[in-house]
Structures are given as C-alpha cells and as structure tokens.
Copies of this chain bind each other. A is one copy, B any other.
Amino acid sequence: MNPNLTTDRPTFVTHLECSLTGERYEADRLHGLSRAGRPLLVRYDLDAVKTTLSRDALAARQTDMWRWRELLPVRRTEDVVSLGEIETPLIPIPRSAGSANVWVKDEGRLPTGSFKARGLVMAVAMAKELGVTRIAMPTNGNAGAALAAYATRVGIETIVFCPEDTPEVNVREIAMQGARVWRVNGLIDDCGAIVGKGAAEGRWFDFSTLKEPYRIEGKKTMGLELAAQFGWELPDAIFYPTGGGTGLIGMWKAFDELEALGWIGAKRPRMYAVQASGCAPIVRAFEDGVEHAERWEDAHTVAAGIRVPKAVGDFLILRAVRASGGKALGVGDPAILKAVDEAARKDGLLLCPEGGATLAAYREALRTGEVDEDERVVLFNCATGLKYPMPEAPRTLDRHGAIDFDML
C-alpha cells in the first residue's frame, strides 16, 4: 500500500561521532553513549544524497516519515517497521494564540498518540537491524507506549520502568502492547538508574533518551517535515516542550543537513525550549550562561512529559537555543492548564499539558515582545490531549421528568 515501506533505497550513513568530542565511531555496530559519556550523532554522505534525491522526487512520495529514508539510518528495507507514521498536520489556533500566524504541529496523531513514535520507530528498526533482542527503558509514559508497540511488532522483548505517578492510561497502554512494565517510587532518572544497572550487567540494551543514537534520527523528521510543509522556508520561531530535548536537538541537526543538501538556506527559526517552572534545569542553565545544566531537585509539574530533572543532551539543547537566537522559557502550571483550556474552548483543539506549555510560553513571549504577532510560529503539541485528565463536567438529565428546554 505504501511504497515507502517496501521500496529498496540507497543509504548514506558514513559513521557516528561523539557530540562533545567529535570522536569517530563505526556505523552498523551497536552503540550506546560515546566514551566521553555523551550522545552519538549519525553522519551521512550528504553530497551523495544530494546527487541521488531531489526535493521533487521527495514530493512525489507518500508523505510519511519513511519517505525521508535517504536521510535515515536504516539500511535494509526488511528492517523498516511501521504503524503508520503520517506527516502530522499544522493547525492554526487563531483565537487562543491571538495570532493567525501560529500553527500547532499536532504530534498526537502519530502511532500510540505521541511524538515518541518518531524516535522509537527508528530506534527499534535499528535495534532489529543490529540484532538486539531485549530492550529496557525509563519513561514518563509516552515513550514506553511507543517502544512497546514497535518492539512487539518486530518481536523484541521490552521491560519498561515508569515513575510511580505515571498516568494509569500510559501504564496500561504499555502493558497492553506487550511490554513488561514496572512503576518505580521515584522520578524518570531514578528509573533510568535501574535501566543502566541492568544494561551494565548485560541483561538488556539501554534505550534511554539519547543513550542510543537513533531516536534522535527519528525525531529529526519533525524538522524535515516542517521544512517541507513551509515550502522550504522555515518558520520564524519554534516553541518546543523540552524534557530530554531529543526533538529540539534533532530538528537542529535536520536543518543543517537540509542546508548541506541545498534545500534550505542559512536562515533558522529561533528555537524556544519550553519547560515547566517546577522543573526548569535548562532555563536555569540558559539564564546562568552555562553549558551544562545541573539536576533540578524536587521536580514537579502537571506536564509529566517535561518533568526531566537532568538531560544527558543538555549542552546540545543549550547550544541550539543560543545559536538560533532563541531562549529557554519556564511557564507555571496554572498558565499551562489555562492554555490547554483556551485552545480547546476557543479553537476546538485539545492539547496535552506539554503542548499547553508551548502555547502559554508563546502568549507570554508575545506579551513581552520576544515574538511579534506577524511572525510565523510553530508550537509543538507532543501528544494527544486524550491521555490526560480533564475536568469533571457532565450534568444529568432525567428523560422521564419534565424537561425544561430553556435551561439546556
């Protein structure tokens, strides 16, 4: 049905390199972090891609993630796995944003209802390609659901660890989709410590954010899609809900690759890393002018997806934000909830709390003059709002009684 999943295509990965030191690593071998303990980045022969693939050829393909295959790491077509990774739509929210130039990129439409599908479909495909049979991962919920779904599909065993207050729907979804799932009395980095310990003992492969090199390649497709959707003229600003930051780092990498192909120019969007005030290590590091972020103690926010006290790719996030002329911005829970409510009630779009955070941050940036009303802005809604608690609402009507139509 979809030729992107079945057509053999040339691949262009040359090697991987440490994002901190530039040290080179061989392609087609299983890797975790670099020897410096930092994320590895996948490098491509972009000159060769340039002579192989044109924007027109790309435009003729079905618009899903796998049409970007020449810029992705999977070598063998048989290792492509898919649950329908559509290009996510851009939805204007003129009333709640207060500008007609703001689009929500609705990542909740992806398989398992979140943008985690982008990273995990790629990482699982590569795990399959490289012979991994058992994976463990810490998750605030959505990443675990995506991992479970894709790993199940290719027959890889998975063990998933969530903070104890992870929403019930996430935990059940992970279990339904064939993973073994445990709640842990702690936060995501506490879960990550358990995964790391098991990995060190050789019990499983560690799939933590940025601890394997391929989730970032999947998340990169957010940037590739944006470029195509905006007619190869990137928007002026991107507001991105930032926990581990893979997507922000991935988009930044995508823009560089697209420029190397000659498909876009040197202009970049200002990247705004949005965090919750109750867990804002990147905001603090940005404001302090430092390159690495210290662990945020006593992290708390309704936006569990960005409740990440310590990110292994902190310096990559901060570099991209600074190079772009953007900022790291914190927003409080009341502003997040108000934004979710307004987008639904005024524009009919139900955001997740992390998506609400980007809207709240945009509104504040508009107020302070950080962005102009006529700038083209993309807000990332990273998951379907349906997974999150909504306020109680229903009233009951007795059909056997006399119905007062005036009060309905």
Contact = CB atoms under 8 A, between A and B. Distances in A.
Interface of A: 1-2, 62-64, 82-84, 86-91, 103, 106, 109, 112-113, 136, 148-153, 159, 161-162, 164, 168-169, 171-178, 180-186, 190-191, 193-194, 197-198, 201, 203, 229-230, 341, 344-350, 384-387, 390-400, 403, 405, 408
A345 B84 contact: no
Contacts of A89: 2, 64, 83-84, 86
A109 B86 CA distance: 9
List the 9 closest pairs (A to B, CB-CB), nearest first.
A84-B89, A175-B393, A149-B348, A172-B390, A153-B348, A152-B348, A182-B397, A176-B344, A171-B394
B393 A176 contact: yes
A109 B109 contact: yes
Contacts of A113: 384, 386
A391 to B, nearest CB: 7
A190 B62 CA distance: 44
B350 A180 contact: no
Contact of A178 (B198, B348, B397): B348
A368 B149 CA distance: 30
Contact of A198 (B198, B348, B408): B408
Given A229-B1, A395-B182, A400-B185, A348 B83 contact: yes
Given A84-B109, A201-B405, A190 B399 contact: yes
A390 to B, nearest CB: 4
A107 to B, nearest CB: 11
A95 to B, nearest CB: 9
A82 B93 CA distance: 11
B393 A181 contact: yes
A341 B182 contact: no
Given A386-B387, A393-B181, A397-B182, A403 B194 contact: yes
A314 to B, nearest CB: 23
B178 A345 contact: yes
A345 B106 contact: no
10 contacts: A1-B230, A63-B63, A84-B88, A84-B109, A148-B348, A149-B350, A150-B348, A161-B397, A175-B394, A181-B393
